[in-house]
Chains A and B, each alone.
Chain A
Amino acid sequence: MSNLELLDKISSVAGISGYEDEVSNIVKSEYQKLNLKYYQDGIGSVVGEKCADENGPKVMIAAHMDEVGFMIKSIDDQGFIRLQPIGSWWSHMLPGQWFKVVNRNGEQFYGLMGSRATHGLPQDLRSKTMDISELYLDMGVENKQQLVDLGIEEGNMVVPMPHFQIMNHTDRVVNKAFDDRVGTYIMIEVAKALENKKHTPLYLANTVQEEPGLRGARTATDCVRPDICFAIDTTLAGDTPLDSNICRLGDGVVLSMIDSNSIAPRKLVAYVEDICKKYDIQHQYAVFNKGGTDSGNIHKTNAGVINMTLSIPIRYMHTNSSMISMKDVENCIILLTKLVEEINSEIFDQVSMK
């Protein structure tokens, strides 16, 4: 049973890297409802604890709260805004899109990403993508002062306009920021599924600043010192006319075998595959060594952690509108719930790399 209202709320809230306060407020209130203790690390990651006093290896689940977006870099006299990308963007996906500017008081304003007039556009410009530095946000104002009066200034956060949409009576949904708000949603649903159960100590790490460099992953891991960790993120689906790889919407939770910063360790993969078979959980694989996830920093923090990433296939990652399948999300929630219920000291010895 998917809680689409919660997924909508979590993915629609504005929170770029370094500006995750509103997301962490939602996470904290959900942990409060479940009576979980929580704290924050030195840069704002939220860590919830469940069954911390039980015996067993410390299991951490991590998902990042930050989305890709922009910061206001400068405002010209006419009121057009120049942007600093936060996280990676392809400029082709930006002109003509709606964005929201959030000032330091949390007030939100509409902005339209500017574009060239298309009529009479010479062919050589028509066939090129713009450089990201050429982009600007059109706030519809007459001059800079009108923005100043609204409290808009250099450094303010800019995020895609949210638009949560269930696709045509399917289990596919679209919105901004499913990378990685779906991970945050999954963690909350796992905590709910485990609500009255006792299990190995569980730490729910909602990390900050993954997109610019996996930063909260490092700090949260130092706070928790987990024995085993599963990072939850999204991975590129290759099931469209333009993109082809083995990963498909609806084929189940993805066991990410490698990313640009980490390799899933064999024994942990074998154990996760066993759990999938035992509980008939639909799963698939991704082998993609270009993108990174929090695992990149988690596994090599301090003396090392047995760690891998479980992913949700996503179309159109890092754009205003990404698509995922709730079937994959449900499979991921079930898998994580079973993993937390089943992992004990014996299993930890089994997956140890020593």
Chain B
Amino acid sequence: MNLDRLTTLCNCFGVSSNEQDVAEIMKPAFAENADQIVRDNLGSIFAYKKSKHENAKIFMIACPMDECGMMVSKVNDDGTLTFITLEDIAVSSLLHQRVTILCRDHSMITGVITNRKNVLEGGSEAKSIHDLVIDCGYTDKADLKVLPGDLVSYASNFFVENNIVYAKALNPRVLNEVCMEVVENLKEHELDFNLAIGAMSQSTIGFRGTKTATYTIQPDAALALCVFDNGKPNAKLNGGVVVGMYDKGMIPSKRLINDFKGFTSANGYFGMIGNDSSFIHKTVKGCPTVAVGIACGNTGSANEMVAINDIDALVHTLTDYILHLNNEMITDFGFGEHHV
């Protein structure tokens, strides 16, 4: 596992709608190890291995590109910032966290999320987002160059201990890293099907790039990479690869999931929250899709946790699975030719 590259990924600013720094990190690995790079108009980025076979099917492996974050809604007269969350982050996950604000000129400012109370006398509690502001250490609005609409991310340090990575944005950065390592592993291999593997813009915020990327790639079958909550049955740190058996967004393709589970030793996970598969499987003409990933602890917080063993296991499993696949199998996952 390329720890240096994962560190760079986690430390970059990749909040929903501003993912180009992530694309820049992924480009070299994709350019050197695949035939071409495919983008959609929202900035999603895929490595594309083009098969020499005629009528080759298209297999897509896709993960999100954006990390969860916030947006400044008002610069207060006292120099603090009122903000909204872009995704469903609990208020308790926000209080006291360090954040980075991306200004219009691309410079970054550090701040801390605080409640408006005197902690020593009044206690530390925040019931709603209206209790919170970002404090950047300015006391006058006039000195701040932050504007309404500026994006905000967590600002946690990246560290590894006991083979566990602690950082912000491990979801989806570990998945971005997995995509690059799989492409690197496959460099010397020729496939009899087309393979698109990469990351989709504005997915975490609401599967927006999921739709545009699926439209662009037009897959015949797909694996959606995602994280699963640590601690639930069948999803634990160091527990290896997990496959989604059910969630409220998709019932997975039977033939594809039976083949995947039969070939790998992935654990089945029953959850509620959907992931990219929710939209990949039903966008354009639709295609057999399965969600695959690893456990992540504290997802959506400033300090997520992922096991290095799991990252490696996912890379190896996906590499082996792609080498096990062929055009005929991908065809058989589906339901016959699409007649227009």
Contacts and interface: CB of A to CB of B under 8 A. Distances in A.
Interface stretch (B92-100, B205-213, B239-247): B205-213
B43 A287 contact: no
Given A300-B212, A304-B212, A266 B73 contact: no
Interface string A296-322: 000111111110000000000000000
A257 B40 CA distance: 22
A266 B17 contact: yes
A261 B207 CA distance: 10
Nearest to B105: A270
Contacts, number: 82
A148 B152 CA distance: 59
B209 A304 contact: yes
Nearest to B45: A354
Given A265-B18, A306-B41, A354-B39, 12 more contacts: A246-B74, A246-B148, A257-B71, A258-B149, A270-B104, A285-B147, A287-B71, A287-B73, A303-B40, A303-B216, A352-B41, A354-B41
A265 B17 contact: yes
A285 B148 contact: yes
Contacts of B18: 265-266
Interface string B168-212: 000000000000000000000000000000000110011011011
Contact of B148 (A257, A300, A354): A257
A263 B86 contact: yes
A129 interface: no
B202 A263 contact: yes
Given A266-B17, A303-B215, A261 B148 contact: no
B73 A353 contact: no
Interface in B1-53: 16-18, 20, 23, 39-44
Contact of A353 (B41, B147, B211): B41
A256 B326 CA distance: 47
Interface string A214-256: 0000000000000000000000000000000110000000010
A339 to B, nearest CB: 18
Interface residues of B, number: 33
A304 B42 contact: yes
A115 to B, nearest CB: 34
Contacts of B20: 353
A276 to B, nearest CB: 12
A269 interface: yes
Contact of A255 (B17, B149, B202): B149
B74 A287 contact: yes
A317 B24 CA distance: 43
A6 B197 CA distance: 52
Interface string B197-240: 00001100110110110011000000000000000000000000
14 contacts: A257-B148, A257-B149, A263-B16, A263-B86, A273-B104, A285-B148, A287-B73, A299-B42, A303-B215, A304-B42, A304-B209, A304-B212, A353-B41, A353-B42
Interface string A123-134: 000000000000
A17 interface: no
Contacts of B42: 299-300, 304, 353
B72 interface: yes
A286 B71 CA distance: 11
A301 B41 CA distance: 10
A305 B73 CA distance: 25
A262 interface: yes
A66 to B, nearest CB: 24
B89 interface: no
A270 B41 CA distance: 18
A304 B209 CA distance: 8
A287 B212 contact: no
Contact of B149 (A285, A299, A302, A352): A285
B91 interface: no
B251 interface: no
Nearest to A257: B149
A264 interface: yes
B136 interface: no
Contacts of B16: 263
By Cβ-Cβ distance, the 10 closest A-B pairs, closest first, are A257-B149, A304-B41, A304-B212, A353-B43, A287-B73, A304-B42, A285-B148, A263-B17, A354-B39, A300-B208
